[in-house]
A and B are shown apart, each in its own frame.
Chain A
Amino acid sequence: MLRVNSFFKKRADGVMLLLLFFILSLSILFYYLQNVNTNMINNEEYIIGVVKLKSYNQEMDNTLMRSYRHLDNDEITEITKKFDRELLLLQKNKMHEVFSTEVNALLQQIAAQYNLKIDLVESFKTLNARITSTVYYLYELQNAIEERKDGNVEVEKLLGDILFKIGQIFIGKEASVLNIEQDLVSLQLLCGEDEKLNYFYRHSKQILADIGLLNKILKENEILALGETIESLNILLSYESQRNRKTEEMIGVAFFIFALFILIVLVYTYLKVLKNRAEVFYLAYHDTLTKLPNRVEFERYIHTLTESKKYKGIKKFIVLFIDLDRFKVINDTLGHDIGDEMLIILADRISKIVGKGNLLARIGGDEFVAIIEDRTSMETIDILAAEITSVIRKPIHIREYRLNTSASIGIAKYPEDGQSKSMLLKHADSAMYHAKDNGGDTYAFYNEQLSINIQRRLELEQELVDALKKKEFSLVYQPQYDLSNHKITGVEALIRWQSTMLGSVPPEEFISVAEDTGLIVEIGYFVFREACQTYVKWKSQGVDVHLMAINISSVQLRQADAFRNFKSIIEETGMKAENIEIELTERYIMEYTTEKLTILDDLRRLGCRISIDDFGTGYSSMSYLGNFAIDTIKIDKSFVSEIVSSEHDAKVAKAIIVLSQSLGYKVIAEGVETLEQENILKAYHCDMAQGYYFGKPMESKIFIDFFQKHLSL
């Protein structure tokens, strides 16, 4: 899990960075857009300001058109004040930083022109005031002169003409055309001492002068053309703001695209991260080779089924531990490539049988486990397990090889075979080992006995370790006798174990454990030595049993220094090899011949006799019987016990006797318990017998008494 997390973190850093980058560029974009917005607003304000200037200027021009008419001076003052204010606002406006120098230059020009215009307007006001007041007075004078009625027609006409012409000028006619100058000259001549005429003359002259000045002002204003300058500024501003807008638009779009791009990259990266994560998680929970769920996933799943509140105890399911038999051998001999391919093929086969509704996981090198949920009846599980074993048994073709393997399957049911996960799995495991013990290529259901067995086994293992040290072993001896004359021909040494913890443990139980743990070697030597010592001791006491038969484990015989050890014990105890009969299992003999061991030959050469124990129960190969020199065949007690009731067993026993004797071997029947058995064996010409009927296995002391008593018979 940690690996998964750190992997994701590394990728996530990249995602985080990109996200940050995206947010950053988006923020910049927003900030920029804000800026643009402010600019736009300022721009608008600026343009509006310029438009206001335009309108104020227009009003001023309108005023200037109203010559000889009513002028509200206060109003004109207002307009100029407005223009002033607006101009000041524009000059102070921050937009100057944004606009080009052209704009600023134009604004300055406007300011300069405006100053000039103000003067023109003021002069206009002044002249206009004078003119209007004068014209009124001229009319008054004319009236006054006419009212005098002094009959000076010429004068009156002249006055009338002058006034009329002044009126014409007011309406718009060119003053020069009208030749007022001429009239004035005439008037001057006619004035004389007349006060009023003089006044008339002087005022007329003044008014003409003022009108001249007024026209000059108007012309100057035309030339000044402030309106044009303002208009140029207006146009320039529109153009510039448009251009600015375009630039800003481009930049905005660029930023936007950039941000979008980052977003896409972000999304892509994130998706990739998710995919990677998914992959990683998949890998974390699946076996890379077979693609099956792995141990982690299995553990998790079964934990859910057995421990989580949701499913605990509710769902029934079956656990199958599938262990391939001797897979290691194939792996080691043919190589891991072949081994891997085999696993893939087998995984595929098994999963097809198990089906999609059930979990099949690979939890070890050659271990699989299945959790079967879709069927729970014993029969269907039985069938399933059989199918699995059969499908594994099918030959596997890899390259030029045709391979065979098999599996041991252990089956445990939930919740019957274990309420907790650990209990359930332990029991499935036991069942699997039980199947293995049965030779493999089979399946076994868990039963309580298995647990008990294992429990017992563990106990034995534990106690065996020190049993020898604690001197818990002892030997008992069972006599072997000639069937014809009931004479004792030999003695079989049998081991007994009195454990302080476990009590009396029969050899059937602990011998196999000792063999598995290797303790048999030490125990075996103990037995061998003890038996030899006893024989020698007996002999010295006058008890001569002729033969001491000692069981030796095949495990012991496989030891490299076994022969040397046995030889030294024989020599140390003062035993004669000829008095030793080594009892071996039938199976060992077979293994012995195939494995080409030499120890038996060595022992034989030393002088020991060989007998085959429990004959008829194992692999009885006729060939080795001939190949190997043995002395005695011991018919297994199972035949002897049924020799009376079972015709078949009787026939087998008879056959063994005949066969063995034909090969020159002696035959001894084990477990003779009744007279009838004896009689039948006697009838079959069995040489010797051993059993409760004659004598139980006895301790040394007791045997001595038995022997002496028997001798007296």
Chain B
Amino acid sequence: MQKNYFLSLLCFALCSSTLFAANLVPIPTQIKVDEKKVALGKKLFADPILSKDKTFSCMTCHNLQTNGADTVAFTKGVTGEQGLFNVPTVYNAVYNFRQFWDGHVKNLQEQAIEPITNPVEMANSLGTVLEDLKRSKTYSALFEALYEDGITKDNLAEVLAEFEKTLITPNSSFDKYLRGDMKALNEHEIEGYRLFKTMGCISCHNGVNIGGNLYNKFGIYQNAKSEELGRYNITHREEDKYVFKVPSLRNVALTAPYMHDGRAKTLEAAVNIMTQYQLGHPMDKEDLHRIVDFLNTLTGELPEIVKDMRVEGQ
């Protein structure tokens, strides 16, 4: 009995060290970018020229004025068809280890073009986009100033990605707290932070983006009944069924509805789902609210650059 106890304590110590070793890091306040490319990318981001009928721009689905995403579970594209996934936020996307819910692209550049050609999104063709851009004197000039080869798919992706890199939201209360400002969080929020760790949320939502750096199965302890198969479509491994990218919790207060299919309309609902499906254990209402309080502190400041950007059309 003694021996048992002692050894189990040892194991416990071992494991807790792992748990508490996982940490959250504040996002940097600045990020290095090529200004000229950013300017061009910004212009394009808000320009419906990219879409088939010239009504949709990136801003349309990723509203930078609000949350860098949408406010509905599934957004309709140019053709009126609904998208398959809840629009993830562009903000801090640069810190995600993969893009898209199933992580099938590695970086912002690879992601930028897909919405343009996705039939349920901008429903355009790459050829048309490039042609339209080339026809525009402004864009021709701007591109030629930056690139020897002018307007190409890679260059277009690059300028969009460069712009998106600037879309970071530092200085959330929590980041300030992490940086040493003990007053940045109140009691509840601090308690929420503690629970976030002890409950085990932190085991998946960690790192600089508080998430966005690994995959996990959606519905471990309960069948989440997801329509999408996630990573299975890529790896075709049984264990990858319903495996998605763990999303970032930054600005989570702004990006309702939650989950890849937008099934959770509120933070409480989302946390609930998490504890049941992912953590597989109960949570007090009090604890839940504390955690939600904590989650609310993850909202950062919108960058200057988006102040003058408007959604066009529609």
A and B form one complex = yes
In the assembled complex, B19 has its CB within 8 A of some CB on chain A: yes
Q: Chain A's nearest CB lies how many Å from the CB of B247?
A: 14
Is the CB–CB distance between A139 and B200 below 8 Å?
no
In the assembled complex, A319 has its CB within 8 A of some CB on chain B: no
In the assembled complex, B279 has its CB within 8 A of some CB on chain A: yes
Given contacts A68-B15, A119-B235, A139-B15, contact A126 B216 (CB under 8 A): yes
Is the CB–CB distance between B19 and A132 below 8 Å?
yes
Tell which of A84, A137, A199 has the most Cβ of chain B within 10 Å: A137
Q: Chain B's nearest CB lies how many Å from the CB of A358?
A: 83
Question: Could you say which of B4, B206, B221 contacts A206, with CB atoms under 8 Å apart?
Answer: B221
Is the CB–CB distance between B215 and A122 below 8 Å?
yes
**A72 to B235 CA separation, bound complex (whole angstroms):** 24
Given contacts A122-B214, A122-B215, A164-B7, contact A70 B280 (CB under 8 A): no
Is the CB–CB distance between B280 and A199 below 8 Å?
yes
Question: Could you say which of A68, A73, A130, A135 contacts B206, with CB atoms under 8 Å apart?
Answer: A73
Given contacts A136-B15, A202-B280, contact A129 B203 (CB under 8 A): yes
Within 8 A of A (CB), among B1-31: 1, 4-5, 7-8, 10-12, 14-19, 21-22, 25
In the assembled complex, A620 has its CB within 8 A of some CB on chain B: no
Chain A residues within an 8 Å CB radius of B221: 202-203, 206
Within 8 A of B (CB), among A63-85: 68-74, 76-77, 80-81, 84
Which residue of chain B lies nearest to A217 when distances are taken between CB atoms in the complex? B239
Is the CB–CB distance between B17 and A70 below 8 Å?
yes
Is the CB–CB distance between B203 and A160 below 8 Å?
no
Chain A residues within an 8 Å CB radius of B279: 133, 137
In the assembled complex, A31 has its CB within 8 A of some CB on chain B: no
Is the CB–CB distance between A160 and B19 below 8 Å?
no
Chain A residues within an 8 Å CB radius of B22: 70-71, 132
Is the CB–CB distance between A163 and B281 below 8 Å?
no
Tell which of A68, A125, A126, A141 has the most Cβ of chain B within 10 Å: A126
Is the CB–CB distance between B19 and A136 below 8 Å?
yes
In the assembled complex, B179 has its CB within 8 A of some CB on chain A: no
Tell which of A81, A136, A195, A199 has the most Cβ of chain B within 10 Å: A136
Within 8 A of B (CB), among A153-170: 157, 160-161, 163-164, 166-167, 170
Within 8 A of A (CB), among B38-72: none
**A170 to B18 CA separation, bound complex (whole angstroms):** 12
In the assembled complex, A213 has its CB within 8 A of some CB on chain B: yes
Within 8 A of B (CB), among A452-507: none
Chain B residues within an 8 Å CB radius of A84: 106
In the assembled complex, B204 has its CB within 8 A of some CB on chain A: yes
In the assembled complex, B172 has its CB within 8 A of some CB on chain A: no
**A163 to B9 CA separation, bound complex (whole angstroms):** 10
**A80 to B213 CA separation, bound complex (whole angstroms):** 12
**A402 to B99 CA separation, bound complex (whole angstroms):** 123
Is the CB–CB distance between B281 and A199 below 8 Å?
yes
In the assembled complex, A674 has its CB within 8 A of some CB on chain B: no
Is the CB–CB distance between B97 and A73 below 8 Å?
yes
In the assembled complex, B180 has its CB within 8 A of some CB on chain A: no
Within 8 A of A (CB), among B60-89: none
Chain B residues within an 8 Å CB radius of A195: 282
Question: Could you say which of B198, B203, B213 contacts A77, with CB atoms under 8 Å apart?
Answer: B213
Report the number of A-B residue pairs with Cβ-Cβ less than 8 Å.
115
Tell which of B10, B15, B19, B208 has the most Cβ of chain A within 10 Å: B15
Is the CB–CB distance between A133 and B19 below 8 Å?
yes
Chain A residues within an 8 Å CB radius of B12: 139
Chain B residues within an 8 Å CB radius of A164: 4, 7-8, 11
Which residue of chain A lies nearest to B239 when distances are taken between CB atoms in the complex? A213
A interface residues, tally (CB under 8 Å): 43
Is the CB–CB distance between B204 and A137 below 8 Å?
no
Is the CB–CB distance between A170 and B11 below 8 Å?
yes
Within 8 A of A (CB), among B210-231: 213-217, 220-221
Question: Could you say which of B11, B235, B282 contacts A163, with CB atoms under 8 Å apart?
Answer: B11
Q: Chain B's nearest CB lies how many Å from the CB of A199?
A: 5
In the assembled complex, B207 has its CB within 8 A of some CB on chain A: yes
**A342 to B209 CA separation, bound complex (whole angstroms):** 118
**A70 to B20 CA separation, bound complex (whole angstroms):** 8
Within 8 A of B (CB), among A126-150: 126, 129-130, 132-137, 139-142
Which residue of chain A lies nearest to B103 when distances are taken between CB atoms in the complex? A122
Chain A residues within an 8 Å CB radius of B200: 133-134, 136-137
Is the CB–CB distance between A130 and B18 below 8 Å?
no
Chain A residues within an 8 Å CB radius of B106: 81, 84
In the assembled complex, B311 has its CB within 8 A of some CB on chain A: no
In the assembled complex, B151 has its CB within 8 A of some CB on chain A: no
**A203 to B106 CA separation, bound complex (whole angstroms):** 33
In the assembled complex, A42 has its CB within 8 A of some CB on chain B: no
Chain B residues within an 8 Å CB radius of A568: none
**A68 to B240 CA separation, bound complex (whole angstroms):** 20
Is the CB–CB distance between A126 and B217 below 8 Å?
yes
Within 8 A of B (CB), among A82-139: 84, 119, 122-123, 125-126, 129-130, 132-137, 139
Is the CB–CB distance between A167 and B10 below 8 Å?
yes
Chain B residues within an 8 Å CB radius of A134: 200, 280
Is the CB–CB distance between A167 and B206 below 8 Å?
no
Q: Chain A's nearest CB lies how many Å from the CB of B240?
A: 8
Give 7 closest A-B pairs by Cβ, nearest first. Answer: A167-B11, A70-B21, A133-B200, A133-B203, A73-B213, A77-B97, A74-B207
Given contacts A129-B203, A164-B4, A166-B11, 8 further A-B contacts (CB under 8 A): A68-B18, A73-B206, A157-B1, A161-B4, A167-B11, A199-B280, A203-B280, A213-B239
A-B contact pairs, 21 of them (CB 8 A): A70-B21, A74-B25, A81-B106, A84-B106, A119-B237, A123-B239, A126-B214, A129-B203, A130-B220, A132-B22, A133-B19, A133-B279, A134-B200, A135-B15, A142-B8, A160-B4, A160-B5, A166-B11, A167-B10, A199-B282, A202-B280
